[in-house]
Amino acid sequence: MQALGEGVAQFSIGQRVGVPWLAHTCGHCRYCASGRENLCDTPQFTGYTRDGGYATHVVADAQFCFALDGIALDDVAIAPLLCAGLIGWRTLAKAGDAEAIGLYGFGAAAHLVVQVARAQGRRVFAFTRPGDTAAQDFARSLGAVWAGGSDEAPPEPLDAALIFAPVGALVPQALRAVRKGGRVVCGGIHMSDIPSFAYRWLWEERELVSVANLTRQDALDFLAFARRVPLVTHTRRYGLAAANEALADLRQGRLQGAAVLVP
């Protein structure tokens, strides 16, 4: 924090804070009024509808900044908590009290979710691109009890499946992997088309839901958890000018963990 606007009392100069994706909500629409500001009708998003997410400095609304005190990670290592960590946290929360959880797509979000889920006493099954043994080894090293290709069946029916890869074809596959009454949660903003599938894969009260954005309460809850349970992040740093290179590496699966742009 280099400067404070008028009336900002909760932060001090020099303090380390995080600025997440959610940059502003209206506070009065039906979603804001019911504790679901992640669905606000007129939101703003950092680096998307509000400038400064890809810059050396950013002006942010103090109401949407979060103190990072008490989390023993350096600036690069802590960055994934503010994006992948937060959406992963909200996606995992949608799984309720599920004990056996499948993660489809083992990237930035999943590599944090597996640690959280394990600390909560859940069993995690990681699904990667078929044949990606490096990603499967990575998942097991972080606590997954099983790892395999997304075309494989898990060794036991899942209580819930979380999909982080933007691949619609994973939806029917995940539905086939969850037990009766199980839930499939789509964690991505964008996904390719979902192919048609037999109704019997949804039958028996299986549920299919998506997750959008985050609330400030999600951020407070997740950061409080990260203070209690040390998380590790795997990052690759890129200079600001190499942002497109980072995206290409992500698309090609050449990256383990999270890419972090460093001004």
Taking the least distance from each CB to Zn ion, the nearer of 39 and 71 is 39
Interface residue with Zn ion among 17, 29, 145, 194 (CB under 5 A) is 29
Instruction: State the minimum distance, in angstroms, from the CB of residue 260 to Zn ion.
Output: 30
Total residues at interface with Zn ion (CB under 5 A): 5
- Name the residue among 187, 144, 146, 152 with its Cα closest to residue 173: 152
Q: Which of residues 80-139 bind Zn ion (CB under 5 A)?
A: none
Task: Check binding of 32 to Zn ion (CB under 5 A).
Answer: yes
Taking the least distance from each CB to Zn ion, the nearer of 37 and 132 is 37
Taking the least distance from each CB to Zn ion, the nearer of 25 and 233 is 25
Task: Check binding of 26 to Zn ion (CB under 5 A).
Answer: yes
Task: Check binding of 4 to Zn ion (CB under 5 A).
Answer: no
Stretch that binds Zn ion, among 10-18, 31-39, 109-117, 120-128 (CB under 5 A): 31-39
Instruction: State the minimum distance, in angstroms, from the CB of residue 53 to Zn ion.
Output: 21
Note whether 148 and 171 are within 8 A (CB). no
- Name the residue among 213, 218, 204 with its Cα closest to residue 44: 213
Taking the least distance from each CB to Zn ion, the nearer of 29 and 169 is 29
Helix H, strand E, coil C: the string for 91-134 is HHHCCCCCCEEEEECCCHHHHHHHHHHHHCCCEEEEEECCCCHH
Instruction: State the minimum distance, in angstroms, from the CB of residue 33 to Zn ion.
Output: 8
Residues in the site for Zn ion, rule: CB under 5 A?
25-26, 29, 32, 40
